[in-house]
Structure 1
């Protein structure tokens, strides 16, 4: 898949667990896990906005395109 999700890198850099992020953005741990492992087929802008706000990042920090 040419779109890589760098959620794991951002969590590690901010010393935050997936569980803590789940509580902060009010998204289930299962859904965040699907996103983190790169198995998600889509992401809502509201979800992307909540994650970026919680991690203090830009969407480009979270998603990367590799042809």
Structure 2
């Protein structure tokens, strides 16, 4: 989610926003979904979003042969 998405959803309070984000699944759980994507453009968009959310995870996966 982007900051504008959060504002539109009514998350104007920083503590409420952080609480919501803490409940979302971590990046490691998204990797399987990305590899199963039938649409390469959509998968690329998701990787870009994932990198914004968790840069370290994406960087580690690009070096991991099993994740490619």
With normalisation by structure 2, the TM-score equals: 0.32
Structure that is richer in strand per residue: 1
Structure that is richer in helix per residue: 2
Q: Which structure ranks higher in relative contact order (CA pairs < 8 Å, sequence separation ≥ 6)?
A: 1
With normalisation by structure 1, the TM-score equals: 0.33
Greater CA radius of gyration, 1 or 2? 2
